[in-house]
C-alpha cells in the first residue's frame, strides 16, 4: 500500500479535474474519457524508441530476452 502526499494529490486534481478519491472509484476507461473531454483531444499512446534510454517497463521485454514458458521449462528440466 502507498500514500500520496497532499502536493501530489493537488497536482493530480489540477491536471485531471478529478480528485484521487474519485479516480480510485472509476475505471481506467472512464478516467480516460473524462480527460479526453477535458482537453478536447483523443488520448493516444506514444512509443518512441531511443537506444540511449531504456523504458521503465520490463528490461527483459525491451532487450527481447524474455523466454517463452515452454523454452524456460525445457532449460530448467536440464538442471
Q: Is residue 25 part of a domain?
A: yes
Residue span of the structural domain in which 40 resides: 1-44
Q: Is residue 64 part of a domain?
A: no
Q: Is residue 6 part of a domain?
A: yes
More confident residue, 55 or 65: 65
Q: What is this structure's pTM?
A: 0.53
Q: Is residue 40 part of a domain?
A: yes
The alpha carbon of residue 40 and the mean position of all alpha carbons in its chain are separated, in whole angstroms, by 22
Q: Is residue 51 part of a domain?
A: no
**How many alpha carbons lie under 13 Å from residue 38 in its C-beta half-sphere?**
13
Q: How many domains in the chain?
A: 1
CA atoms of 44 and 32, how far apart (whole Å): 10
Q: What angle do CA 12, 4, 18 make, to 5 degrees?
A: 30
Q: 26-52: per-residue pLDDT in tens? A: 999 999 999 999 999 998 876 666 666
> By 3-state DSSP, what share of the chain in percent is helix, strand and coil, each rounded to 5?
55, 0, 45
CA distances from 20 to 5, 15, 16 (A): 11, 11, 10
Amino acid at each position: 500500500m502507498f500514500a500520496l502526499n497532499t502536493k501530489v494529490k493537488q497536482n493530480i486534481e489540477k491536471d485531471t479535474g478529478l480528485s484521487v478519491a474519485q479516480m480510485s472509484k472509476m475505471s481506467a476507461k472512464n478516467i480516460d474519457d473524462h480527460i479526453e473531454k477535458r482537453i478536447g483531444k483523443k488520448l493516444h499512446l506514444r512509443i518512441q524508441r531511443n537506444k540511449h534510454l531504456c523504458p521503465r517497463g520490463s528490461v527483459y521485454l525491451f532487450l527481447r530476452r524474455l523466454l517463452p514458458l515452454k523454452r524456460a521449462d525445457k532449460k530448467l528440466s536440464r538442471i
